[in-house]
Structure 1
Amino acid sequence: MIAAVSRPLGALLLAVGTLAALLVGAQPAAAHASLTGTSPGDGEVVATAPAEVVLTFSEPVSVGEDSLRVLDPDGARVDTGEVTRGAGGAEQTLGLADDLGDGTHTVAWQAISNDGHPISGAFTFSVGAPSETSVDVAGSSPDGGAVGLLHDALRYAAYAGFLLLVGPAVFALVCWPGAAGRRAVRRTTVVGWLTLAVATAALLLVRVPYTTTGRLGDAFDLDGIADVVDSRAGTALLTRLVLLSAAALPVALLHGRYARAVAAGDARLARDLRFGVGVGGGALAVGLAATWATAEHAATGLQTEVAIPVAMVHLLATACWLGGLVTLLVLLRGAEGPPPAAAVRRYSTVALAGVATLAATGLYQSWRQVGSFSALTGTDYGRLLIVKVVVVAVLLGVAWGSRRWTGALRDDDDGAVRRERDRERVAETVPEEDPERARQLARQRVAVERTRRRREEGPERAGLRRTVLVETGVAVVLLAVTTALTGTPPARGEGGASTAASDSGGAAERPAPLEVAYDTGGAEGVATLELAPGTVGENTLEIALADAEGRPAEAEELRVSLTLPEESVGPLRVETEPVAEGRWRATGVQLPRPGEWELDLTLRTSEVDQTTETTTLTVP
Structure 2
Amino acid sequence: MRALLLVLAGVFAAMVATAGQASAHAVLESTTPTNGTVVDSAPSRVTLTFGEAVQVEPDGVHVIAPDGSSADNGKADHIDGRGDTVGVPLTSKAQGTFTVSWHVVSADSHPISGAFTFSIGHTSAAAPVAAPSSGSLTVSIVYWTFRGLEYASFALLVGAVAFVFWCWPAGSVHRGVRRLIGGSWLALLFATVGAALLQGPYGAGAGLDRLFDGNLFSSTLDIALGTGVIVRIVLLALAAPYLGEMLATVEWTPNRRAVFGGVGVLLLNALAWTWSMSGHAAAGLQADLALPVDVLHLDAMGVWVGGLVVLWRAKPPQEAAQRFSQVAFLCVAALVATGTYQSWRQLGSWAGFFDTDYGRLLLVKIAAVLVVLSAAYFSRKWVRSHVGKLRRPILVETAGAVIVLGLTAALVNAEPARTAEAATTPVVQATPDGQTLPFDTGGPGGKGSLKVYITPARTGPNLLDVTVEDPTGKPENVAELTVALTLKERDVGPLKIEMQRVGQGRYRAAEAQIPLPGAWQVAITVRTSDVDETTAAGTWSVS
TM-score range, shorter chain: 0.7 to 0.9
Aligned match of 2:168: 176
Question: Could you tell me whether the CA contact under 8 Å between 1:49 and 1:100 is conserved in 2?
Answer: yes
Question: Could you tell me whether the CA contact under 8 Å between 2:478 and 2:527 is conserved in 1?
Answer: no
CA deviation vs aligned residue, 1:317-363 (integer Å, no higher than 9, x gap): 1111111000110122xxxxxx2211111010000011111111111
Aligned match of 2:3: none
1:3-18 to 2 correspondence within 5 Å? none
Q: Does 1:363 align with 2:340?
A: yes
Question: Could you tell me whether the CA contact under 8 Å between 2:318 and 2:388 is conserved in 1?
Answer: no
* Aligned equivalents of 1:343, 1:619: Cα separation in 2: 51
Q: How far 1:39 moved relative to its partner?
A: 3.6
Question: Could you tell me whether the CA contact under 8 Å between 1:563 and 1:572 is conserved in 2?
Answer: no
Q: Does 1:596 align with 2:501?
A: no
Q: Would the alpha carbon gap of residues 572 and 326 (structure 1) be closer, same or farther in structure 2, given more than 3 Å must change?
A: same
Give the residue type in structure 1 aligned to 2:162. Answer: V
Give the residue type in structure 1 aligned to 2:308. Answer: L
1:285-300 to 2 correspondence within 5 Å? 285-300=268-283
Q: Does 1:96 align with 2:95?
A: no
Give the residue type in structure 1 aligned to 2:353. Answer: L
* Aligned equivalents of 1:250, 1:595: Cα separation in 2: 61
Question: Could you tell me whether the CA contact under 8 Å between 1:236 and 1:292 is conserved in 2?
Answer: yes
* Aligned equivalents of 2:513, 2:284: Cα separation in 1: 35
Give the residue type in structure 2 aligned to 1:471. Answer: E
Q: Would the alpha carbon gap of residues 372 and 132 (structure 1) be closer, same or farther in structure 2, given more than 3 Å must change?
A: closer
Q: Does 1:151 align with 2:169?
A: no
1:62-461 to 2 correspondence within 5 Å? 62-72=55-65, 73-79=67-73, 81=75, 83=77, 85=79, 90-97=84-91, 99-128=92-121, 134-142=127-135, 145-255=137-247, 257-258=248-249, 262=250, 267=251, 274-332=257-315, 339-408=316-385, 459-461=386-388
Q: How far 1:234 moved relative to its partner?
A: 0.6
Aligned match of 1:532: 436
SS where residue 434 of structure 2 aligns? strand
* Aligned equivalents of 1:603, 1:206: Cα separation in 2: 36
Gap regions ≥5 residues in structure 2: 1-23, 423-427, 442-448, 468-476, 518-524, 529-543
SS where residue 364 of structure 1 aligns? helix
Question: Could you tell me whether the CA contact under 8 Å between 2:146 and 2:191 is conserved in 1?
Answer: yes
Percent identity reads 35
2:391 pairs with one of 465, 478, 498: 465
SS where residue 211 of structure 2 aligns? helix
Q: Who wins on radius of gyration, i.e. which is larger?
A: 1
Aligned match of 2:540: none
SS where residue 572 of structure 1 aligns? strand
Q: How far 1:134 moved relative to its partner?
A: 2.6
Aligned match of 1:446: none
Give the residue type in structure 1 aligned to 2:50. Answer: F
SS where residue 38 of structure 1 aligns? strand
Aligned match of 1:449: none
1:509-524 to 2 correspondence within 5 Å? none
Q: Would the alpha carbon gap of residues 233 and 619 (structure 1) be closer, same or farther in structure 2, given more than 3 Å must change?
A: closer
Q: Which moved more, 1:288-297 or 1:562-571?
A: 562-571
1:573 pairs with one of 485, 492, 498: 485
Aligned match of 2:408: 482
Q: How far 1:151 moved relative to its partner?
A: 2.1
* Aligned equivalents of 1:198, 1:563: Cα separation in 2: 52
Q: How far 1:528 moved relative to its partner?
A: 1.6
* Aligned equivalents of 1:127, 1:366: Cα separation in 2: 46
Aligned match of 2:48: 55
Q: Would the alpha carbon gap of residues 383 and 56 (structure 1) be closer, same or farther in structure 2, given more than 3 Å must change?
A: same
Q: How far 1:272 moved relative to its partner?
A: 5.9
SS where residue 139 of structure 1 aligns? coil
| Number of equivalences | 467
Question: Could you tell me whether the CA contact under 8 Å between 2:453 and 2:466 is conserved in 1?
Answer: no
Q: Would the alpha carbon gap of residues 562 and 197 (structure 1) be closer, same or farther in structure 2, given more than 3 Å must change?
A: farther
* Aligned equivalents of 1:288, 1:558: Cα separation in 2: 50
CA deviation vs aligned residue, 1:402-433 (integer Å, no higher than 9, x gap): 1223323xxxxxxxxxxxxxxxxxxxxxxxxx
Q: Which moved more, 1:350-359 or 1:487-496?
A: 487-496
Q: Which moved more, 1:199-208 or 1:556-565?
A: 556-565
Q: How far 1:154 moved relative to its partner?
A: 1.3
Give the residue type in structure 2 aligned to 1:350. Answer: V
| TM-score with structure 2 setting the length | 0.75
SS where residue 108 of structure 2 aligns? coil
* Aligned equivalents of 1:619, 1:211: Cα separation in 2: 31
* Aligned equivalents of 2:324, 2:488: Cα separation in 1: 56
Give the residue type in structure 1 aligned to 2:405. Answer: L
Give the residue type in structure 2 aligned to 1:127. Answer: I
Higher helix share: 1
Q: Would the alpha carbon gap of residues 488 and 514 (structure 1) be closer, same or farther in structure 2, given more than 3 Å must change?
A: closer
Q: How far 1:178 moved relative to its partner?
A: 1.5
Gap regions ≥5 residues in structure 1: 1-30, 333-338, 409-458, 497-512, 516-526, 546-553, 578-585, 608-616
